Chain A
Amino acid sequence: MLRYVTQRLLMMIPTLLGVAILVFLMLRMMGGDPVEVMLRGEGANVSQDVIEAERVRLGLDQPIPVQFAKWLGGMMTGDFGFSMWTGKPVAQEIASRLPLSLQVAVMATILAVLIAIPLGTLSALYKDSWIDHLVRVISIAGLAVPSFWLGMVIILTLLTVFHWHPPVLFTPFFENPRENLSQLIWPALAVGYRYSAVATRMMRSTLLEVLQEDYIRTARAKGVFERLVVIRHGLRNALLPVVTVVGLEFAFLIGGLVVTEQVFNLNGIGKLFVEAVSRSDFTMVQSLVLLVASFFIIINFVIDLLYAWLDPRIRYR
C-alpha cells in the first residue's frame, strides 16, 4: 500500500509539470499583449515608451524559456509570483477567494450526496414504479437545466415573490453563520441539484447492476434481511463509481463555477479565473490552472485510496 501511495505521489510531479508547460505556452501562443490590454484597453493615450517600460517591469521582454524558468523556479519554492494586473502576490489573491469557492463546493457536494444516495437507491429498489419514474424525471431535469439558469430562476423568485435578495458581500461562516448561509445556500442549491442528478443516475444504475450479482442472490438465499442486503452488500459496492463522480465533480466546482459565480456575484475562484483570462493576467491564469489541476490530481488520488478502502480486492492487487 505504501509503495502504491508513493508511486502515485511521484506520478503527480510529471503531470503537474506537463500542465505547467502547456498552460504557459498556450497563453503565449494565443496572441495579444497583457500590457496593451492593461494600459490601452480603456482607451488611454499611452506612449510606446510607457508600454515598453511596463513590459520590462513585468519581465515580458525576456525570452520565453527564461520567463518559464523563472516562473517554474518560483512555483517550486512556493512563490507563485505577482499578478500582472494588480501587482499583488498571486497567492494572496487566490487565498482571499478560495474559502468561498471551497465552501460552495463542500455545500453543493453535501447536498448532492444527501439527495443522490437515497433517491438513487429508492429508484433502483423500486425500478419501473412511480417512485422510479419520479426520481428519473427529477434527475433528468437536473442534467438538462444549466446551474446558472437555475441560479437566475432562484434569484428572480426570491426577488419577485419574497422581495428579498441574498447578501451581496461574503461573510465567513465562523463570523456570522446565518449571514454566510443566507448568501451561499442558493448557489449551493443551484449547483448541487445538477451535481445530484449525475450522482443519482449513477447510484441507480450501479445499484441495479450490483443487485443482480451472485453474492446478493446468495445473501438473499441465506435469508439475510433485505435491508442488510441492500446496505451492507449492495450499497457499499455500488458506491464505488458514485465516489468517482462525486470526487471529480467536487474538483470541478473549485474552479468551474464560472457562470454561477457571476450570477450570484460570488467572489470566488471561478470569477477570478474569468477576470484573469479577460485581462491576460498570465501569472494569475497559470497559477489558477495549476491549482485546479492539482485539485483534480489530489482528488483522484484520494478517490483511488477510497476505492481501496471500499473494495478489498483493489487493496490486495
Chain B
Amino acid sequence: MRFRYAALAITLAAMTSPALAQTPKSGGTLNFAVSAEPPNYDCHAQSSFAFIHPVRPHYSTLLKFDGPNYPKVTGDLAESWTVAPDGLTFTFNLRKNVKFHDGSAFTSEDIRATYDRLRNPPEGVRSLRVESYRDITSIETPDAHTVVFKLSKPNASMLSNFASPWDCVYSAAKLKEDPKFPERNILGTGPFTFVEHQAGSHWVGRKFADYFEPGKPYLDEYRAVFMRGAAMVNALSAGQVLAEFRGHSPADRDRLVQALGDRAVVLESPWACSLVVSFNTTKKPFDDARVRRALSLAVDRWAGAEALQKIALVRHVGGVLRPGYELATDEADLLKLPGFSRDIKASREEARRLLKEAGVEKLSFKLTNRNVAMPYTPVGVFLIDQWRQIGLTVEHEQLETRLYMAAQQRGNPTYDAALDFNCDFMDEPNLALMKYVSADRSALNYSGHTDRKLDALYDQQSGELDKGKRKAIVQEFEKHLLEESYVIPTIWWHRIIVLHKELKGWDMTPSHYVGQDLTNVWLDR
C-alpha cells in the first residue's frame, strides 16, 4: 500500500517538476525545515548543509550550478567568462547592475577580496577552501567589471570550484574594515536580505528589492525552521513546512506520501555521497593489503544495495565517483574491479584464501561507526553480516561524533575499521578523490596510508583538461586504490525529497549543497 502511494507521488513529480514551464507567481512565505543549525555566519568557514540551506539565499557566487543541467555551471555574478586554452587564465565579465543589501555597488574588487580571503585568509580568519584555490597565483581586476584569475598549473576542477556554494561574495569595503565581518553579519548581493536568526528556532530572509535578476526572487520571504526527526516529518505532514532539502529516508518518504496524498511531490536522485570503510593501516593486520582486500571482496555490494534501499537512504553501487557521473567508471568496467564482481561466491572464496595466506583466518575486529541511525547503522550492520559470512567476528561500535573522531585521531588512531562518508558539494574528482591520497597530503585520510602512486595519479588527473584522458587516469587511480583497499567504497547514497505540491521552481540535483539560493522558487497558491 505504502509503495503504491509512493509510486503515485513519483508520477506526480514527473508531471509537475518542470516547474518553470508554468508562469511563476510572486509572493508568499516559504517555510522549510533544516535538520541542523549553522554555528556562525561565515560561508568560507563552513562545511555543512545546515549552513547552506538558510544562508545561501543571502549571497551570490561568481558562478553557480545549473540545477536541471548539473554539473554544468552557469553565471551568477559573472555574466560570461573565458578560459585560456592552456587552462591557466580564467577571465570573468561581471554583471553591472549588482548591489549589496546595504545599497553599495558590487565591483570586481569584491571578487578579488573574497577570493584572497578564501585562498589566503588573514590571521584569525578561517577558510576551509585554501586547498581548492592553491593553484591560483594572482587575481587581477583590470576594470570594475572584469576579474582575471591566473593559475600556476592547469586545474580541471577550477571552473566548477568557482560555482562552489561556499564561496559567498563579500563586500571588499567591509572586509577591509574587519576581515571577520562575515562571522557575525550577513551582507551579500543575493536574492534575500537577512531579517533574523532566532538561535535554535528559525532563520528568516526577505526579498531583496534591488536583486540583479529582474522580477526575482518570487517569494516575499522564507523561513528556515530548525527541526529534525519525527517532529520534522510531522510538520511536513501538516503542511507547516513545505520541504526539507537534504533528504528523507524511504520510511519517512512513505509516511509523508501517505499523509499528503496527491499534495506530495517525490523527487529522487543518486546522491553525490558515499559510505566508505577506512582501515587503520597503522595497525596489524590492517597494514596487510591482503587482509584489507579480503574484507572488500567479502562485501556483496549489489545484493546489499538491493536490500538496503528499502530501509536506508543508500541505493547505488559505484567506485570512487558517483555512479552516473560523467567521469565515473561504467558498470561493465566496475564489475572487473576487486570487490565489485556479481559472483560473490567466488569473491568470498578469494577473500578466505587471502586471509589464510595472511594468517588471520579467524580475524576479530571492531567496526567503528557513527551513532547516527541513517544511513550508518543499517550499513554497519550489513557489513558485519557480510564479514561474518567469511568466518570473521566483528563488533559494531557506534560512537558519538566526538568519540568517533577521537578513535581516528591523527598520529594515534585506535580504531580497526571505520565506516566513514565521502561527500562534497560536487562530483569533481579533485574533491571526491582527496580522501584517498596520502595522509601527509589529505586531512580527509583517516586510514593513515601513504601511497605516492595514488598521489601522482591524483595530480595527473587534476591537471588533465581532456575529459577522456582524465577519466582514464581516474580509473587507474580507482583500480590501484581497490587493489590496495586502504579505504573501500561500499554503497552510494540515494537522495529523496518530498515537496508539497505548491512549492515550485526548485530543482533536484545529486548534491544537497547546490541549488539552494531560492531565486527561482515560487508558491503556486
| Stretch from A61-69, A128-136, A163-171, A234-242 that touches the partner | A163-171
What's the minimum C-beta distance from A257 to chain B, rounded to whole angstroms?
13
| CB–CB B183/A87 < 8 A | yes
| CB–CB B422/A45 < 8 A | no
Residues on the B chain within 8 Å of A36, using CB: 402, 405-406, 409
Q: Which of A44, A168, A267, A280 contacts B128 (CB 8 A)?
A: A44
| CB–CB B40/A86 < 8 A | yes
| CB–CB B402/A50 < 8 A | no
| CB–CB A44/B47 < 8 A | yes
Query: Taking the complex as formed, is B131 at the interface, i.e. its CB lies under 8 A from any CB of chain A?
Result: yes
| CB–CB B405/A32 < 8 A | yes
Closest to B127 in A: A50
| CB–CB B238/A159 < 8 A | yes
On whether A54 and B39 interact (CB within 8 A), knowing A46-B443, A93-B199, the answer reads no
**Per-residue contact bits, chain B 237-254, to A (CB 8 Å; 1 contact, 0 not):** 110110000000000000
On whether A53 and B405 interact (CB within 8 A), knowing A45-B442, A168-B241, A265-B235, the answer reads no
Query: Taking the complex as formed, is A294 at the interface, i.e. its CB lies under 8 A from any CB of chain B?
Result: no
| CB–CB B200/A87 < 8 A | no
Chain A contacts with B in 21-43, Cβ cutoff 8 A:
30-34, 36-43
Q: Which of A57, A156, A169, A280 contacts B201 (CB 8 A)?
A: A169
Chain A contacts with B in 225-247, Cβ cutoff 8 A:
none
On whether A280 and B130 interact (CB within 8 A), knowing A47-B443, A159-B234, the answer reads no
On whether A48 and B235 interact (CB within 8 A), knowing A88-B199, A97-B200, A271-B200, the answer reads no
In the bound assembly, the distance between CA atoms of A280 and B406 in angstroms comes to 12
What's the minimum C-beta distance from A94 to chain B, rounded to whole angstroms?
10
Residues on the A chain within 8 Å of B198, using CB: 96, 169, 267
Query: Taking the complex as formed, is B354 at the interface, i.e. its CB lies under 8 A from any CB of chain A?
Result: no
Residues on the A chain within 8 Å of B424, using CB: 43
Residues on the B chain within 8 Å of A45, using CB: 128, 131, 431, 434, 442-444
On whether A263 and B238 interact (CB within 8 A), knowing A42-B48, A45-B443, A97-B200, the answer reads no
Among A96, A169, A272, A278, which residue has the most Cβ atoms of chain B within 10 A?
A169
Q: Which of B235, B431, B444 contacts A168 (CB 8 A)?
A: B235
Closest to B372 in A: A278
Residues on the B chain within 8 Å of A164, using CB: 238
Query: Taking the complex as formed, is A110 at the interface, i.e. its CB lies under 8 A from any CB of chain B?
Result: no
In the bound assembly, the distance between CA atoms of A167 and B421 in angstroms comes to 35
| CB–CB A32/B230 < 8 A | no
Residues on the A chain within 8 Å of B259, using CB: 159
| CB–CB B241/A263 < 8 A | no
Query: Taking the complex as formed, is B423 at the interface, i.e. its CB lies under 8 A from any CB of chain A?
Result: yes
Query: Taking the complex as formed, is A250 at the interface, i.e. its CB lies under 8 A from any CB of chain B?
Result: no
| CB–CB A50/B230 < 8 A | no
In the bound assembly, the distance between CA atoms of A36 and B412 in angstroms comes to 14
Query: Taking the complex as formed, is A111 at the interface, i.e. its CB lies under 8 A from any CB of chain B?
Result: no
What's the minimum C-beta distance from B32 to chain A, rounded to whole angstroms?
11
Query: Taking the complex as formed, is A85 at the interface, i.e. its CB lies under 8 A from any CB of chain B?
Result: yes
Chain B contacts with A in 213-243, Cβ cutoff 8 A:
225-232, 234-235, 237-238, 240-241
Residues on the B chain within 8 Å of A152, using CB: 230
What's the minimum C-beta distance from B425 to chain A, rounded to whole angstroms?
11
| CB–CB B40/A32 < 8 A | no
Residues on the B chain within 8 Å of A30, using CB: 402-403
Residues on the B chain within 8 Å of A300, using CB: none
Residues on the B chain within 8 Å of A93, using CB: 199-200
| CB–CB A43/B47 < 8 A | yes
| CB–CB B240/A168 < 8 A | yes
In the bound assembly, the distance between CA atoms of A262 and B409 in angstroms comes to 31
| CB–CB B410/A48 < 8 A | yes
Query: Taking the complex as formed, is B401 at the interface, i.e. its CB lies under 8 A from any CB of chain A?
Result: yes
Closest to B48 in A: A42
Query: Taking the complex as formed, is B397 at the interface, i.e. its CB lies under 8 A from any CB of chain A?
Result: no
In the bound assembly, the distance between CA atoms of A43 and B401 in angstroms comes to 11
Query: Taking the complex as formed, is A307 at the interface, i.e. its CB lies under 8 A from any CB of chain B?
Result: no
Query: Taking the complex as formed, is B124 at the interface, i.e. its CB lies under 8 A from any CB of chain A?
Result: yes
Chain A contacts with B in 69-96, Cβ cutoff 8 A:
85-88, 93, 96
Query: Taking the complex as formed, is A155 at the interface, i.e. its CB lies under 8 A from any CB of chain B?
Result: yes
Query: Taking the complex as formed, is A264 at the interface, i.e. its CB lies under 8 A from any CB of chain B?
Result: yes
Q: Which of A43, A48, A85, A263 contacts B231 (CB 8 A)?
A: A263
What's the minimum C-beta distance from A281 to chain B, rounded to whole angstroms?
9
Query: Taking the complex as formed, is B480 at the interface, i.e. its CB lies under 8 A from any CB of chain A?
Result: no
What's the minimum C-beta distance from A179 to chain B, rounded to whole angstroms?
13
Residues on the B chain within 8 Å of A159, using CB: 234, 237-238, 259
What's the minimum C-beta distance from B263 to chain A, rounded to whole angstroms?
12
| CB–CB B403/A31 < 8 A | yes
In the bound assembly, the distance between CA atoms of A43 and B434 in angstroms comes to 11
Chain B contacts with A in 441-480, Cβ cutoff 8 A:
442-444
**Per-residue contact bits, chain A 286-315, to B (CB 8 Å; 1 contact, 0 not):** 000000000000000000000000000000
| CB–CB A267/B423 < 8 A | no
| CB–CB B401/A37 < 8 A | yes
Query: Taking the complex as formed, is B306 at the interface, i.e. its CB lies under 8 A from any CB of chain A?
Result: no
In the bound assembly, the distance between CA atoms of A44 and B48 in angstroms comes to 9
In the bound assembly, the distance between CA atoms of A163 and B40 in angstroms comes to 37
Closest to A93 in B: B199
Q: Which residues of B contact A (CB under 8 A)?
A: 31, 37, 39-40, 47-48, 124, 126, 128, 130-131, 183-184, 198-202, 225-232, 234-235, 237-238, 240-241, 259, 400-403, 405-406, 409-410, 420-424, 431, 434, 442-444
> Can you list 28 A-B pairs, Cβ within 8 angstroms, ordered by A?
A31-B403, A32-B400, A33-B402, A36-B402, A36-B406, A40-B405, A43-B47, A44-B128, A45-B128, A46-B47, A48-B410, A86-B199, A87-B39, A88-B199, A155-B234, A159-B234, A165-B240, A167-B240, A168-B231, A168-B240, A262-B229, A262-B230, A262-B231, A265-B231, A265-B232, A265-B235, A267-B201, A277-B400
- 7 tightest CB-CB pairs across the interface, nearest first? A32-B402, A165-B238, A44-B47, A265-B231, A267-B200, A32-B406, A267-B201
Q: Which residues of A contact B (CB under 8 A)?
A: 30-34, 36-48, 50, 53-54, 57, 85-88, 93, 96-97, 152, 155-156, 159, 163-165, 167-170, 262-265, 267, 271-272, 275, 277-278, 280
Given contacts A46-B128, A159-B259, A277-B400, 13 further A-B contacts (CB under 8 A): A33-B402, A34-B402, A43-B423, A47-B130, A47-B443, A48-B443, A50-B126, A53-B126, A54-B126, A152-B230, A159-B238, A165-B235, A263-B231
